[in-house]
């Protein structure tokens, strides 16, 4: 770990780790088919899979979810950032207030 990061690790559908790992921390996890790592500081998390360094999961402060899947004796990795998963926030259009009735001046009869 290069920096502190909240992490959730899921192995074959079961959450096996969910907490903040401090910079310098190191853990080992195993899965039979699917390993998912979700982190709140992707730039601080470096991963090694089956002895091969994968580097960091993303940029510092970014939220990333990476999945490693075993298919036909090959491990594939796919990652998605929250920016890609979550639609951009939009600002609701400002509505003009409903028009109010405007009194129309009338001419009073002169006496």
User: Does some domain include residue 25?
Assistant: yes
Q: How far apart are the first and last CA of the chain?
A: 93
> Is residue 61 included in any domain, yes or no?
yes
Q: Report the domain count for the chain.
A: 1
* 43-to-39, 54, 101 alpha-carbon distances in Å: 9, 12, 59
| 93 in any annotated domain | no
Range of the domain at 32: 5-85
Residues of the chain under the 70 pLDDT cut? 83-111
Q: Is residue 32 part of a domain?
A: yes
Q: Which pLDDT does position 77 carry in this prediction?
A: 93
Q: Is the pTM of this model over 0.75?
A: no
Q: Does a structural domain hold residue 94?
A: no
The reported pLDDT for the residue numbered 2 is 79
């Amino acid at each position: 770990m290069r920096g502190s990061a909240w992490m959730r690790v899921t192995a074959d559908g079961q959450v096996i780790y969910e907490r903040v790992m401090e910079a310098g921390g190191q853990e080992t996890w195993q899965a039979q088919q699917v390993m998912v790592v979700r982190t709140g500081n992707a730039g601080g998390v470096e991963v090694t899979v089956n002895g091969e360094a994968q580097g960091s999961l993303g940029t510092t402060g970014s939220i990333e979810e990476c999945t490693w899947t075993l298919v036909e004796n090959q491990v594939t990795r796919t990652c998605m950032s929250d920016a890609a998963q979550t639609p951009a926030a939009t600002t609701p259009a400002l509505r003009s207030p409903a028009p109010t009735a405007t009194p129309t001046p009338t001419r009073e009869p002169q006496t």
